Amino acid sequence: MSEQILIIDFGSQYTQLIARRVRELNVYCEIHPYNNLPHSVENLKGVILSGSPCSVRESDAPNIALDAYRGHVPVLGICYGAQLLVHQNGGEVVPSTIREYGRARLQKIDQHPELLKEMTIGNQVWMSHGDTISTLPEHFINIASTEDVANAAFKIDEEDTYGIQFHPEVTHTDDGKVLLRNFVVHICGCAQDWTPDIFVESTVANLKETIGNDKVVLGLSGGVDSSVAAMLIHQAIGKNLYCIFVDNGLLRKNEFEEVLHSYKDMGLNVKGVDAKNEFYKALEGLSDPEEKRKAIGKTFIEIFDIEAHQIKDVKWLAQGTIYPDVIESVSVKGPSATIKSHHNVGGLPEKMNLKVVEPLNTLFKDEVRKVGHTLEIPGDILNRHPFPGPGLGIRIIGDVTAQKVRILQDVDHIFIKGLKDRGLYDEVWQALAVLLPIQSVGVMGDERTYENVVALRAVTSVDGMTADWSKLPYEFLADISNKIINNVKEVNRIVYDISSKPPATIEWE
């Protein structure tokens, strides 16, 4: 078991970022909510207490006894975490009189304690709190301050416990990475040996042991997560992994054939299932986005179930679930409000009565890509833009028909190929075309046309949670617009979506 850092989550919006920064140091860490902590953590090297939107002064504020950690392993409290340490030990936390939000500069740094080594006076730190530490408890030593925040950082005397009131995990803190490295590497003594290669090696060994000679079924989607999950399990159990790739009729142009071919090249035991008509039938007459999602999800489960039952004695269902989904489902606040029902195959394990194996459920998306790279999965699968489970079904506004799918596939193909040809594909996070339920008047030669309008959308993003529209070059957009209108006769007008997320979302439905 790799060395690990435990991150105790008190509900801060930045908790996932702390985990990402620790992982970037090649150190394994896990986030657990303060109200559901594991009884014991193997190979625990240190603990980080996250921030929180709450105030330690509230009677029902999140609180935990830290005796199990303090004095045994190093502890770092960030923001609320630091204030909690102070509050629990007789110091004082009071509402800030000035706004302690945003940029501040460190004026005093005591470089004696390892935590602040190599941090520079005058460098920027990011503050975000409504409370502030006014009095430190006995044995707490002030080690840094800014103009407005006297107790910006402290250390507990003769103990490897620290608190900081700024956020080292956000990029606005200049030396944030230095501080986290000091804590994780120098204070906790982590060896920084958690690399994609090690992950593959240990996961494959674990999978071998857990699965043994059982058979496993997995639904491939053409996307990164299911492909990487498949390759890992394939390395562990070879032909006992049965993959199913369903053509739901809502994939991109030629995608089914091309991706199926790649999978076979990768040595996977994969069966392609053409279920286009079943999906079109299930979608008939539906135009509400959530109803379409549900119909697509339900049809997928039905088809997958039939196919899986043809595999004799299958015992396991493998899924490409990744860490953000896991964190989300156990978060302090509970699963966040469903804006769109993204987990469209959520009901699969219950329905199938199989044991579930999820080899990627501790990884972030970028880590999944790195593991995929180690597994030598082809770049055209690893680097492809995210594509929603319901596919083009939620990019055709209103009801879905085979003919509309064909039109949108043709448009999408020209757009995506254009991005690739111009070297722009990897610069945008996701690009898509939406078929609108609007006809507009046009003129072609001497003839009046009355045809469909298509919206193009390209966004930059890190994780899809927020996004900005891509500033694609005008002449590129003009060229693509011409190409689409000249080649797809059912379309006579193209618009480009210039809204960011929030308040818009990436998909239109």
Catalytic residue positions, numbered:
79, 167, 169
Closest residue by Cα to residue 304 from 210, 403, 395, 221? 221
* Amino acid code (one letter) for 506: I
Of the candidate spans 115-123, 206-214, 383-391, 490-498, the one that interacts with ligand XMP by CB under 6 A turns out to be 383-391
Cα-based torsion angle of the residue sequence 177, 182, 186, 188 in order, rounded to the nearest 10 degrees? -90
DSSP bridge partners of 245: 220, 272
In the complex, least distance from residue 386 CB atom to ligand XMP, rounded to whole angstroms: 4
At closest approach, how far in Å is the CB of 345 from ligand XMP?
9
Binding flags for ligand XMP, 436-475, as an x/- string (CB under 6 A) = ----------------------------x-----------
Of residues 208, 340, 351, 422, which one binds ligand XMP by CB under 6 A? 340
User: What distance in Å separates the CA atoms of residue 168 and residue 173, rounded to the nearest whole number?
Assistant: 6
Closest CA to 374 of 244, 217, 206, 203: 203
User: What is d(CA 64, CA 8) in angstroms, rounded to the nearest whole number?
Assistant: 10
* Cα 470 → chain centroid: 20
Among residues 349, 386, 398, 442, which is the contact residue for ligand XMP, using CB under 6 A? Answer: 386
Q: Rule CB under 6 A: is residue 506 a binding residue for ligand XMP?
A: yes
* Torsional sign, CA 213, 216, 222, 225: negative
262-301 mask for ligand XMP (x: CB under 6 A)? -------------------------------x--------
Q: Assess 161 for contact with ligand XMP (CB under 6 A).
A: no
Q: How far apart are CA 95 and CA 97, in angstroms?
A: 6
Find the binding residues for ligand XMP in span 421-440 (CB under 6 A): 430
Separation between Cα atoms, residue 314 and residue 179, nearest integer Å? 49
Q: Please identify, among the stretches 15-23, 385-393, 409-417, 447-455, the one whose residues bind ligand XMP according to the rule CB under 6 A.
A: 385-393
Q: Note whether 359 binds ligand XMP by CB under 6 A.
A: no
Least separation, in Å, of the C-beta of 349 and ligand XMP? 17
**Token pair recorded at residue 249:** 């009729």
Which of 32, 108, 342, 483 binds ligand XMP (CB under 6 A)? It is: 342
- Residues 82/220, Cβ–Cβ less than 8 Å: no
| Residue 318 · residue 358 · CB < 8 Å | yes
Binding site for ligand XMP (CB under 6 A): 293, 340, 342, 344, 386, 388-390, 430, 464, 501, 505-507
